[in-house]
């Protein structure tokens, strides 16, 4: 897929709406990431920690947010990705992922990124620099086995 | 005291980016792109191989910092910042270590909180830096007092 280079400052990438957060999502992330802090998977432990219920791993949401850029990884790569965690994500929350181009030059594009819950509250926000790959032949001229 | 931990590092620890681990991780964040998971798609990509998602370093073993014992409760993940020189390749070796970069305390409406900045580094087999991962951990007053006992 192509198109990120054509984006103008102020324009957004197509947003992604996640399915309501499920316990299984968080169990899978715990296993895949190795973060077994029980406040993310076991109700009693979350309550013991003073929470109303289990919360998503912040890194689960940050990991999800990066997928806005996955369709464009043929044009460049994520050079910097900085996130501040602002609010908790609970079971059943519906999270939307957004990225808007803030500035660009020939080498990189800087995006404001955020994840917002169903009430419009930011659960995390930050900045992502997408570095444009240099000397990249147009896709049509590339042989299937061509490397970097 | 956490202030005395500033500058302390773990030993470099070897990791191998395993294909199965990348697939599981990509699926867990709903991002199972063929670029991460399909060998043939990786070969045909500009990278000539599969790459890993940008937050994959959370899975890396970077050893432990001598003397740094964080409490199991009362920690809040405040920020996470990545800087990459290139994407991570499936199958490659990454040598990781972690350093206590900074520690300071701030008094706010929730009492005196501690801010611990941990930086993880990852190098390739030729000691070229691939990424840094900075994690800011906020330690609440109760947990901070517990650590001082």
Look at residue A115 and tell me whether its pLDDT is greater than 80.
yes
Mean pLDDT across A81-91: 98
Band (A136; pLDDT cuts 50, 70, 90): low
Say which range, A42-51, A66-75, B138-147, has the weakest mean pLDDT. B138-147
Residue A7 resides in a domain: no
How far is A62 from A124, CA to CA, in rounded Å?
8
Query: Does residue A143 lie in a domain region?
Result: no
Measuring CA to CA, how many Å separate B71 from each of A28, B74, B137, B146, B148? Answer: 25, 7, 12, 8, 11
pLDDT at A140 over 70: no
**Average pLDDT for chain A:** 91
Q: Do B55 and A63 touch (CB under 8 A)?
A: yes
Q: What pLDDT score does A26 carry?
A: 98
Residue of B29, B35, B70 best to disrupt the A interface, most CBs of A under 10 A: B29
* Interchain CB distance below 8 Å, B55 and A82: no
pLDDT beyond 50 at A147: no
Residue A142 inside a domain? The answer is: no
State the virtual CA torsion across A136, A141, A142, A148 in degrees, nearest 10: -20
pLDDT class of B141 with cuts at 50, 70, 90: confident
Number of CB pairs < 8 Å for A and B?
A: 115
Has residue A75 been placed in a domain?
yes
Phi, psi (degrees; rounded to nearest 5) at B9: -130, 160
How confident is the model over A33-60, as a mean pLDDT? 95
ipTM of the complex as predicted: 0.95
Domain total for chain A?
Answer: 1
Instruction: Please state which of the ranges A1-10, A60-69, A130-139, B5-14 shows the lowest mean pLDDT.
Output: A130-139
Q: Say which CATH number the domain at B139 has.
A: 3.10.129.10
Residue A103 lies in a domain: yes
The full DSSP string for chain A is: ---GGGPPTT-BPPPEEPPPP-HHHHHHHHHHH----GGGT-HHHHHHTT-SS-B--HHHHHHHHGGGSGGGTTTEEEEEEEEEE-S--BTT---EEEEEEEEE-SSEEEEEEEEE-TTS-EEEEEEEEEEEPSSPPPGGG--TT---
Question: In sequence order, what are the residues at sequence separation of 6 or more whose Cβ sits closer than 8 angstroms to the Cβ of residue A19?
Answer: A94
Cβ-based interface (< 8 Å): residues of A facing B: 18, 25, 28-29, 31-35, 49, 58-60, 62-64, 66-67, 70-71, 73-74, 77-85, 133, 136, 142, 144-148
Nearest-Å Rg of the Cα atoms of chain A is: 18
Least CB-CB distance to B48: which of A71, A77, A146?
A: A146
Q: How far is CA B91 from CA A114, B17, B27, B52, B53, in A?
A: 31, 5, 18, 10, 14
Token couple for B23: 């697939």
* pLDDT-derived band at A2, boundaries 50, 70, 90: low
Domain enclosing residue B63, as ranges: 2-148
d(CA A39, CA A43): 7
Q: How confident is the model at residue A134 (pLDDT cuts 50, 70, 90)?
A: confident
Show residues of chain B in contact with A62, CB under 8 Å.
55, 80
Give the Cα separation of A1 and B110 in Å (integer). 47
Mean pLDDT of A25-43: 97
pLDDT of residue A141 exceeding 60: no
**Does residue A143 register a pLDDT over 90?**
no
Lowest mean pLDDT among A139-148, B16-25, B133-142: A139-148
Domain that holds residue A50: 12-133
Tell if the CB–CB gap between A59 and B80 is shorter than 8 Å.
Answer: yes
How many other CB atoms are found less than 10 A from the CB of residue B2? 20
In a domain, A56, yes or no: yes
The CATH number of whichever domain residue A44 belongs to comes to: 3.10.129.10
pLDDT (tens digit, 9 = 90+) per residue, B66-119?
A: 999 888 788 899 999 999 999 999 999 999 999 999 999 999 887 899 999 999
Residues 60-99 of B with CB under 8 A from A: 73, 76-84, 86-87
Mutation target for A interface from B55, B92, B136: give the one with most A CBs within 10 A.
B55
């Amino acid at each position: 897929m192509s198109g990120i280079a054509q984006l103008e400052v102020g324009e957004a990438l197509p947003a992604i709406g996640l399915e309501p957060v499920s316990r299984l999502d968080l169990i899978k992330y715990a296993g895949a990431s190795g973060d077994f802090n029980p406040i993310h998977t076991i109700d009693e432990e979350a309550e013991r920690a003073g929470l109303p219920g289990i919360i998503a791993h912040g890194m689960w949401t940050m990991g999800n947010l990066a997928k806005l850029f996955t369709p464009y990884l043929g044009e460049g790569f994520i050079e910097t990705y900085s996130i501040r965690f602002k609010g908790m994500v609970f079971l059943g929350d519906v999270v939307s992922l957004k990225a808007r181009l803030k500035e660009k030059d020939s080498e990189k594009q800087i995006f404001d990124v955020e994840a917002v819950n169903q009430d419009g509250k930011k659960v995390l926000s930050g900045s992502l620099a997408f570095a444009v790959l240099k000397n990249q032949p147009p896709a049509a001229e590339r042989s299937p086995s061509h490397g970097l | 005291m956490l202030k005395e931990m500033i500058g302390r590092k773990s030993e470099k620890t070897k990791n191998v980016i395993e294909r199965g681990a990348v697939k599981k991780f990509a699926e867990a964040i709903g991002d199972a792109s063929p670029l991460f998971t399909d060998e043939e798609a990786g070969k045909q990509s500009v990278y000539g191989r599969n790459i890993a998602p940008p937050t994959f370093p959370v899975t890396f073993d970077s050893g432990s910092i001598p003397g740094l014992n964080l409490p199991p409760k009362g920690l809040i993940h405040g920020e996470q910042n990545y800087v990459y020189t290139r994407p991570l390749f499936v199958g490659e070796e990454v040598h990781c270590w972690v350093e206590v970069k900074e520690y300071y305390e701030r008094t706010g409406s929730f009492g005196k909180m501690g801010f611990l900045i941990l930086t993880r580094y990852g190098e390739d087999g030729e000691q070229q830096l691939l990424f840094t991962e900075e994690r800011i951990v906020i330690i609440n007053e109760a947990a901070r007092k517990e650590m001082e006992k």
